[in-house]
Amino acid sequence: MSYLKQFPEIEQETVKCMKCGNCQEVCPLYKETRFEGAVARGKVKLTESVLNGDLTYTDKLAKIFDTCLQCKACSAHCPCGVQPDKIVLAARAKLAKERGLPTVKKLIFKGLSAPSLFKTGMSVGAKTQGLFFKKSKDGMSPRVPISGLVLRRVIPTLASKSFLASVSENNKVANPVKKVAFFAGCTTNFIYPTVGQALIDVMKANNVEVVVPKAQHCCGTPVLMHGDTDTATAMAKSHVDIFSQYDVDAIISVCGTCGEAFAKHYPELLKDIPAYSEKANQLAKKTYDFAQFLVDVIGLDKNKLGTVDATVTYHEPCHIGRGMNAGKQQVEIINSIPGVKYKPLKQPNRCCGGAGSFSLTHYDLSYKVLQRKMEDVKSTDAEYLITGCGSCRMQLGDGLAQEKMPQRLMHTVELLAKSYNNGK
């Protein structure tokens, strides 16, 4: 049984916690709140209390479990090998089951989980966003307080044409060394389609053939994060069906969260469904972040790299680093590019506070976490802030705009594409 489905499974995880409090050192939310319920240790204690019947599923409990970025800093730091981020997910799943989801979220998730509906919604959104958002220099700010959105927040403009609508399904090369299927993910598809194009260019430069399954939709992580495991399971099944049809060497993502969905969440969600579990495991085994695939599997083709004269710094997304273990490879790519001066952050892998909808539902807290990241960025003299994930990019974009900082944002794969392009 999966820990996401069967809460008692998580007991094994909670008993490992010796309550040493080491997680306090690294939890970004604890640093801001200094409240024991914000840190892993408090949440483990609460979970124990639920498991032994001392606590029930209240609104307050849900609120505490909502206060977590899923940044995994605690898991990486815990001396006892506890994975508090998993405990939180399991608790959210259980809370959603016991109490139901708030109606607004239910509606949004319904949209996210029905691929065609989702597409229509988003493309209508792209056409009508001017009604709700006022254009500013850096993007858009909401005109009216849309539920959960904070007025001051700068969010990027939706692309006028989605990535999936503008790309061809097969992107062949003359003498392919490998063939991969690209999972683009929502932010690439709807907000940063140029990232998807960059991925295709980079793969082509490395003689890798790319198929882009047109039926793909959202990976399901947002619904999973809110505890709606039934919807997440349905979305996982759908992606397993879609991607199993292709005879490819690897599944490639350009977003840690998307990559983790394939590499970790799908096998966990589909564990007890015989028709799916094996297939999900097969896909998981060949899922890579693009950087991992280039550096570890095919070996980056450095001969074709052209010069990019830029001083850059890099924010390592939690789910690229601690999630996919692909942080090193991203930095290796940056360091391979001729002309690039890399100025590391003091804490490159500290969460930016984005965490999907957390930045909307907990804007002030999220912003405090972001401010520390911005101070770190300021202390380098970088012109470009590079990161490997669209969600982080949105969050960092808000930070740069609010703090009136001059740095420009780029996805790691875009920087690499630029280098290949300059080398032509």
Partner 1 sequence: MSKEQLIQDLRQALGQENVITEHEDLVCYSFDATPDMPNPLPDVVVTPADKEDVVKIVNLANKYKTPIYPRGSGTNLSGGTIPLKGGIIMSMLKMNKILEVDADNLVAVVQPGVIIQDLNNAVAPHGLIYPPDPGTVNTATMGGSVSECSGGLRGLKYGVTKNYVMALEVVLADGKIARFGGKTVKNVTAYDLVKLFTGAEGTLGIITEITVKLIPAPEARSSMLGTFDTLEDAGNAIKGIISAKVIPATLEIMDQVTIRTVENFAKVGLPTDARAILLIEVDGIPEVVAREAELVEKVIKENNGNLQKAKDDKDRDNIWAARRAALPALAQVKPTTVLEDATVPRSNITEMLMAIEEIAKKYNLNIGTFGHAGDGNLHPTILTDARDKEEMERVHKAVDEIFKKALALGGTLSGEHGIGMAKSKYLEWELGENGIEVLNKIKNALDPEGILNPGKMASK
Binding site for ligand SF4 (CB under 6 A): 17-23, 26-29, 39-41, 44, 68-74, 78, 80, 82, 84-85, 185-187, 218-219, 221-222, 255, 257-258, 390-391
Q: Bridge partners of 170?
A: 211
Cβ of residue 35: shortest distance to ligand SF4, in angstroms? 11
Given 4, 61, 269, 324, the residue binding partner 1 (CB under 8 A): 61
Given 8, 60, 134, 338, the residue binding partner 1 (CB under 8 A): 60
Question: What does the block give as tokens for 294?
Answer: 């280039």
Question: What does the block give as tokens for 174?
Answer: 């003359």
State how far Cα 223 lies from the chain centre. Answer: 13
Residue number, 23 or 248, with CB nearest to partner 1: 23
Residue 58, contacted partner among partner 1, ligand SF4, none, CB below 5-8 A by kind? partner 1
Residue 390, contacted partner among partner 1, ligand SF4, none, CB below 5-8 A by kind? ligand SF4
Given 1, 6, 8, 18, the residue binding partner 1 (CB under 8 A): 18
β-strand pairing of 133-136 with 139-142? antiparallel
Question: What does the block give as tokens for 413?
Answer: 């794969």
- List strands edge to edge, sheet with 250-253: 170-171, 208-211, 178-183, 250-253, 287-289
User: Contact between 138 and partner 1 (CB under 8 A)?
Assistant: no
Q: Torsion angle, CA of 364/367/369/370, rounded to 10 degrees?
A: 180
Question: What does the block give as tokens for 339?
Answer: 């002309």
Given 1, 6, 8, 21, the residue binding partner 1 (CB under 8 A): 21
Whose tokens are 């789910």? That residue is 319
Kindly indicate which of the ranges 78-86, 164-172, 278-286, 362-370 contains the residues binding partner 1, using the contact rule CB under 8 A: 78-86
Helices 327-336, 412-423: inter-axial angle, 10-degree rounding:
30
Residue number, 49 or 123, with CB nearest to partner 1: 49
Residue 73, contacted partner among ligand SF4, partner 1, none, CB below 5-8 A by kind? ligand SF4
**Is residue 71 a contact partner of residue 351, using CB atoms and an 8 Å limit?**
yes
Q: How far is residue 182 from each of residues 199, 279, 345, measured CA to CA in Å?
A: 9, 17, 30
Given 10, 32, 37, 140, the residue binding partner 1 (CB under 8 A): 37
Backbone angles phi, psi at 184, to 5 degrees: -80, -45
Cα(47)–Cα(44) distance, integer angstroms? 5
Residue number, 84 or 399, with CB nearest to ligand SF4: 84
Positive or negative, the Cα torsion across 10, 93, 358, 280?
A: positive
Comparing every residue's Cβ against ligand SF4, the nearest one is 186
Cβ of residue 313: shortest distance to partner 1, in angstroms? 22
Residue number, 205 or 413, with CB nearest to ligand SF4: 413
Residue 84, contacted partner among partner 1, ligand SF4, none, CB below 5-8 A by kind? ligand SF4
Q: List interacting residues with partner 1 (CB under 8 A).
A: 15-16, 18-22, 24-25, 34-37, 42, 45-46, 49, 54-55, 58, 60-61, 64, 79-81
